[in-house]
Structure 1
Amino acid sequence: MVKLLAAGTPYKGMIFTNPGGPGDNGIEFLRDAANLIKVDPAWSNLQALHQSYDLVSWDVRGIGLALPGADCNASNISTSNLNATISSSNQFKTRALDKIYGPEGFGLKLNEDLEIMFFLSEQCQAQFNGTDGIGSQYANLMIVNMSTASVVRDLISILDAFARSEDGSKVEDPSLLNYWGFSYGTIIGETFASMFPDRAGRMALDGVMNPNEWVEGHHFAFVTDADDTFSTFFLYCHLAGSSQCPFYTGSSAHGIYLRFESMISKLNSTYALEQDWQNASDTDTALKFVRSELILQDLYQPVRDFPYLAQGFAMLDAALINPTNTTFTNLLNGFNDLRNAAQNQSEQTSPFLVLNDDETSQLSMWYPGVACSGNSGIWHNMTLTEMFSRFKAFQEESYIGGLGNVKDTLMCVPWQIDTDDRYTGLFGGKTKNPLLFVSNVLDPVTAIANGRKVAAMFDGVKLLTIEAIGHSSLFARNRCPFSKIVTYFINGTLPGTDNYYDPDAGPWNITIPGTLEGNTGLSEMKKSLRALRGK
């Protein structure tokens, strides 16, 4: 646990914060956020919180610096060792799996991806059980209690200890949780408020997830608005013009969309497989990267990343005119260079960790450790045939985000480490203090529909709606909502009728006139993107 001590008076206690993930590192998050509060004008309103509150974060069980760590001794599972194991082991030749390709965009390597996850899951289970000779006897006890409910009980223990401390004696009610949670962090907050409603202090739940869908293992609402969020790229690019947006073409936003559609149609991996193209696998890799990495990741904070996305599209479009055997390798290197440039745009690190996509990485194991153990286990041991209908439903929910949902749920199929402490509801009801929910109008992974639905579960709450694109208020870069959130924490005052906020400048420093939901130009792109679903 790490604490940024209050800078002034009156002292009001602690505000806990969690960045989500699941699997993001809370200690690093607070370190980065503390720097941004000092140097970033968009975060300047949060300095008032730092005056009166200790800002606190922690690494939940198994994550980051928490001990014992759920890292599966990942440093010993290198990519080269894993590939050697796959190529030499009969295990990967005899497992009864159906070979499935498609629908388009699911990729040619689902079977291989699933085999990798079986391998990593078995390695984790062996270590946590101590059967590999290096596992800790305490690791297994930790991993089976690596659940949201266990995290909530940990918070209760911390609050009880704080109430007995000297600092706690200075606070009116030190036993209450003041909390600002983002993304999966809202699941922690919703679970806490439902399990211990009398311990709920001032709690802002930002980038809202639906707790019922979470515990049931249904992830459809995660990416409901991913396509609609992406549709704004074409409008912003058009308004920016050819001098700023290198993917600009034609005389309308829809003309830029048509250029994208033509470009992406050339990455038809299913057709490449059927025709036995030599570069079919590379085509598939490029398509998966463009959709689930290049685009979806850039939708998290589009104010910063859309200009880099435009450069990436221009590179891809030019390369596909006459592709060679090295085209896709060069493109992936170029895309990674753009991602690094975006990360280095300012001197400060982004407050959200970008998870390593290497399936052998330590961070990638933190996700199933929480997500797969915390749901109802509906994915355990499914065959690809059984998963196919669910994959298709994901794809029909979102062209951009559906593949990411497939990859996330694929992790849970072989994950056999279950939790002994799962809270499945009821969620909602009356809390000691009313909660504040926060949603952007277009959020790629926590749709505003979640905010509206979950807010209706609790009594006396308010939903703060930000006319912005991106994931949570962190990336909306709108100072006005931050001021309302600060007022809530300082005075306990919920927004009144002023709970809707017009947009600040977006990508390329451009402000779209009117509302995002009512923009007729966006409606045309949204319709076109929806037509790509399932293809």
Structure 2
Amino acid sequence: MFLPIRLLVSCLLLLPAVVAVLFGPNSETFRWDQLRPSTNLNWVECYSMFQCAKLEVPLDYSDPNVGTAALAVIRLPANVSEEEYQGPVLFNPGGPGGSGVDALVGVGSSFRVFIGNQYDIVSFDPRGVSYSTPIATFFKTDAERALWNAAAPPEGSLNASSDAIQRNWGLAQLLGQLAVQRDSSGIFKYMTTDNVARDMLLISQKFGFDRLKYYGISYGSALGATFAALFPDKVERIIIDGVLDVDAWFKANLTISATDTDKVLQAFFNGCAAAGPELCAFYKPTAAEIAERLAALTASIRARPVPVITPTSYGVVDYTVLRVTLFESFKMPYDLFPTVAKGLAELESGNGTLLYSIFANAPFECDSSTDDALPFHLNSDEALIAVHCSDAVEVKDSIEQFTAFVENAAKTSQFAEFLVDYLRVNCDGWQIHREGRFLGPITAEHTRVPLLIVTTTADPVTPKAGALNTLAGFPGSVLLTQDSPGHTSLTTPSLCTLGYLRQYLENGTLPEPGTVCPVEAMLFGVPGNLTASRRAALRTEDEQALAALKAVGDAVRSVITRGFGKRK
């Protein structure tokens, strides 16, 4: 559902936790609504170094009479001769509901170092998302969304109060009814992953290539795996990173996704104890003592929340804010653990400002609705619910059945409420389903080219267990493991991982099964820090590659921390 809303005054509210990726130059002034949709990719210059087009696609590939959608497509053109050109590589940043347009603009030229000069680097807003039309929304304006959150703020954590489960269940029913009433374009039931996979094939074909090259992270892994299951002969290269158990996704039971969540919390304890008090402000001599310290702080905050006033907002650090902040930091531990540790230490002293600010939402002011304003497009909240619940089997849990589901999921992780449970309860209220949608299984006896599947050793929302289940559906494909906690390999730079990704893209060569890659980073060290010996051995091109990897990771960070596995 939603994070607690921090009410300011009058129209001054905080936006809900939507995707807020790093925008590139002039991104706020490019008018997608003035771009004419076409059945071809008619490129125009946009965002300084990019080209944009709006591609018309059928809402229903089995019935062209249903109507069309218009996809916002963006590319960073290849920078090689015609003879060296290798076609498009499509990128999906996850979510679902993340804007591929904004993500690619945020990445900028760093993706060129990451992918290579010989490809057009392409992304798009999936049907119903952001700049694509029609847009999927329960709300007519961002102000209405903010007012919804202010008027009916859920508890955030299902453990925060005695009636939190019942309240979240009821709000899910309400949102489901609201979706039916507001779905004037009929887009919701056509936002399913199988249709987006068909859109990706069409985009590739519009470039003149009948097979797909693709890199998808987080939910983008479900999209890539679904494509491979539907079109095994159309696979040219597919890299999926931070891999969902896609069959579990279609069943609306993602309990497996919490398998490694508590391992990342343990990595915080272990890393802090190893780093020492100078690098970890929440230090104790042993991991067990740090765990005890956090448990005591959590109990204290549950009993007495800490008020916070910042220059732009105010609120309280309560049980929910503390727990959500911890959970979100698990996705980007190398970047966020030092700050979280300092925030926890300050919170013990009654100062919650730093911890509150880590994921504080940007201030929202009522729009004056000038003619120059961008059309409403930040709809990641609605898109996430619509895609997952339109994908999944119908869920009709009673409150008692959902309560039992929550209790069972808690056996897998103490943080399952922020990952497994909210996805399930949202679908309990969902009423819009397309007959004949693809529900799995995610498997293909033979893909034209095997898939490269990437995982980390402790992913808090897409664990190795889920990646192994997806791998089992594609014989001949290979799982590459990056030795780091965090959600997707992009959370931590690794020259080893980068080398295998490039090698696979260039010639289809896969790593040996069982390959594990080290990372060029240290928990509770300076982000991206290397040991002295490794730093001395780096070449100039390695340094450039690490900088590019860091930039790519930073640019998709908002999608990772606010997308799949978020508590909205």
Which TM class, normalised by the smaller chain length?
0.7 to 0.9
CA distance in 2, matches of 1:315, 1:227: 23
TM-aligned CA distance change 1:15 to 1:214, over 3 Å: same
Aligned residue in 2 for 1:377: 394
Report what 1:170 is aligned to: none
Aligned to 1:201: 236
Q: Which residue of 2 aligns with 1:299?
A: 330
Q: Provide the rounded CA distance (Å) in 1 between the counterparts of 2:340 and 2:244.
A: 26
Sort the Cα spacing of 1:247 and 1:376 in 2 relative to 1 into closer, same or farther, 3 A.
same
Say if 2:298 is the partner of 1:224: no
What is the alpha-carbon root mean square deviation over aligned residues?
Answer: 3.1
Q: Give CA deviations for 1:405-456 in whole Å, capped at 9, x if unaligned.
A: 2223222221212233521223222101111000001111010112222212
CA contact (8 A) 2:479 2:513 kept: no
Query: How many residues get paired?
Result: 431
By how many angstroms is 1:111 displaced?
3.2
Contact 1:107/1:284 (<8 A) preserved: no
Q: Any conservation in 2 of the 1:101–1:108 contact (CA below 8 Å)?
A: no
The one of 297, 300, 312 equivalent to 1:263 is 297
- Measured after TM superposition, the shift of residue 102 of structure 1 is 10
Unaligned residue ranges in structure 1 (runs of 5+): 38-45, 93-99, 129-134, 164-173, 320-329, 344-360, 514-535
Match of 1:456 among 461, 472, 491: 472
> Scaled by the length of structure 1, what TM-score is found?
0.74
Alignment-derived partner of residue 470 in structure 1: 486
Distance 1:219 1:126, change over 3 A: same
Is the Cα–Cα contact under 8 Å of residues 101 and 124 in structure 2 kept in the other structure? yes
The offset of 1:314, in angstroms, is 1.2
Helix, strand or coil for the counterpart of 1:266? helix
Task: Supply the distance in 1 between the matched residues of 2:202 and 2:513 (Cα, whole angstroms).
Answer: 37
Three-state SS of the structure 2 residue aligned to 1:419 is coil
- Report the residue type matching 1:289 in the other structure: V
Taking structure 1 as reference, are residues 47 and 180 closer, same or farther at Cα in structure 2, changes over 3 Å only? same
Q: Does 1:32 align with 2:112?
A: no
State the alpha-carbon separation in 1 of the partners of residues 148 and 200 from structure 2.
39
The corresponding residue for 1:149 is: 194
Aligned to 2:411, the other structure's residue is in SS state helix
Structure 2 SS opposite 1:505: coil
Rounded Cα–Cα distance in structure 1 between residues aligned with 2:133 and 2:524: 43
Kept in 2: contact 1:294–1:335 (CA 8 A): yes
Q: Distance in 2 between matches of 1:219 and 1:81?
A: 27
Change (3 A) 1:82 1:444: closer
Identity %: 25
Residue 107 of structure 1 and its aligned partner are, at CA, apart by: 6.2
Shift of 1:121: 2.8
Matches within 5 A, 1:121-520: 121-128=176-183, 135=184, 139-140=185-186, 142-163=187-208, 174-249=209-284, 251-268=285-302, 286-291=318-323, 293-319=324-350, 331=352, 334-339=354-359, 362-378=379-395, 380=396, 382-428=397-443, 429-496=445-512, 499-509=515-525
Alignment check: 8 A CA contact 2:255 2:416 kept:
no
Greater fraction helix:
1
Q: 1:74 to 1:106 in 2, by over 3 A?
A: farther
Q: Measured at CA, do residues 502 and 50 of structure 1 come closer, stay the same or move farther in structure 2, by a change above 3 Å?
A: closer
- The structural deviation recorded for 1:58 is 0.7
* 8 Å Cα contact 1:203/1:435 also seen in 2: yes
Whole-angstrom distance in 2 between the partners of 1:48 and 1:497: 23
Structure 2 SS opposite 1:64: coil
Distance in 1 between the 2:473 and 2:205 partners?
27
* CA drift at 1:265: 2.9
Asked if residue 16 in structure 1 is aligned to residue 90 in structure 2, the reply is yes
Q: SS where residue 433 of structure 1 aligns? A: coil
TM-score (norm 2): 0.70
Structure 2: segments with no counterpart, 5+ residues: 1-72, 308-314, 363-377, 532-568
Q: Tell me the distance in 2 between the aligned counterparts of 1:206 and 1:188.
A: 11
Taking a change above 3 Å as real, the CA distance of residues 109 and 63 of structure 1, as seen in their structure-2 partners, is same
User: Secondary structure, in 3 states, of the residue corresponding to 2:456?
Assistant: strand
8 Å CA contact 2:264, 2:486 repeated in 1: yes
Q: How far off its partner does 1:21 sit?
A: 1.3
Please report how far the alpha carbon of residue 108 of structure 1 lies from its aligned counterpart in structure 2 after TM superposition.
4.3
Q: Shift of the alpha carbon at 1:5?
A: 0.6
Residue 162 of structure 1: CA displacement? 2.2
Tell me, yes or no, if the aligned pair for 1:150 and 1:421 is still in contact at 8 Å. no
Are the structure 2 counterparts of residues 491 and 80 from structure 1 closer, same or farther at C-alpha, using a change threshold of 3 Å?
A: closer
What is the Cα deviation at residue 393 of structure 1? 1.2
Secondary structure of 2:132's partner? coil
Q: Is the 8 A contact 1:268 1:284 kept in 2?
A: no
Contact 2:495 2:519 (8 Å CA) reproduced: no
Q: Is 2:331–2:460's contact at 8 Å kept on the other side of the alignment?
A: yes
In the alignment, residue 503 of structure 1 is paired with which amino acid?
A: V
Distance 2:410 2:301 in 1: 17
1:5 paired residue number: 77
User: How far did residue 254 of structure 1 move?
Assistant: 2.0
Change (3 A) 1:47 1:126: same
Q: Label 1:107 to 1:191 Cα distance change in 2 as closer, same or farther (>3 A).
A: farther
Residues 419 and 336 of structure 1: is their aligned pair in 2 closer, same or farther, counting only changes over 3 Å? Answer: farther
Q: Distance in 2 between matches of 1:393 and 1:496?
A: 37
Q: Deviation at 1:101?
A: 13
Change (3 A) 1:400 1:49: same
- 1:500-534 alpha-carbon deviations (Å, 9 max, x no partner): 11233222228999xxxxxxxxxxxxxxxxxxxxx
Residues 253, 424 of structure 2: 8 Å contact kept: no
Whose strand proportion is higher, 1 or 2?
2
Tell me the alpha carbon deviations over residues 349-402 of structure 1, each in whole angstroms, 9 at most, x when there is no partner.
Answer: xxxxxxxxxxxx832111111011111012x3x332121110001111111233
Q: Which residue of 1 aligns with 2:174?
A: 119
C-alpha deviation, 1:284, in angstroms: 11
Q: What is the identity, as a one-letter code, of the residue corresponding to 1:311? A: K
What is the aligned counterpart of 1:49 among 115, 118, 130? 115
1 CA distance for matches of 2:448 and 2:402?
42
Letter in 1 for 2:103: F
Is the CA contact (8 Å cut-off) linking 1:107 and 1:285 kept in structure 2? Answer: no
Aligned mates of 1:48, 1:389 — CA distance in 2: 45
Task: Please report how far the alpha carbon of residue 49 of structure 1 lies from its aligned counterpart in structure 2 after TM superposition.
Answer: 2.4
Partner Cα distance (2:182, 2:398) in 1: 25
Where does 1:521-532 land on structure 2 (aligned, <5 Å)? none
Q: Where does residue 62 of structure 1 map in the other structure?
A: 128
Structure 1 residues 497 and 434: CA distance shift in structure 2, 3 A: closer
Partner deviation per Cα, 1:44-80 (whole Å, 9 max, x = no partner): xx61623111111111111111100002234252444
Closer/same/farther in 2, CA of residues 458 and 206 from structure 1, 3 Å limit: same
CA contact (8 A) 1:238 1:253 kept: yes
Which of 164, 169, 175 is equivalent to 1:109?
164
Mapped partners of 1:222, 1:498: distance in 2: 21
**How far has the Cα of 1:294 moved from its partner?**
0.4
One-letter identity of the residue aligned with 2:293? R
Match of 1:96 in 2: none
Q: 1:107 to 1:155 in 2, by over 3 A?
A: farther
Contact 1:267 1:284 in 2 (8 A): no
Q: Which amino acid aligns with 2:270?
A: L
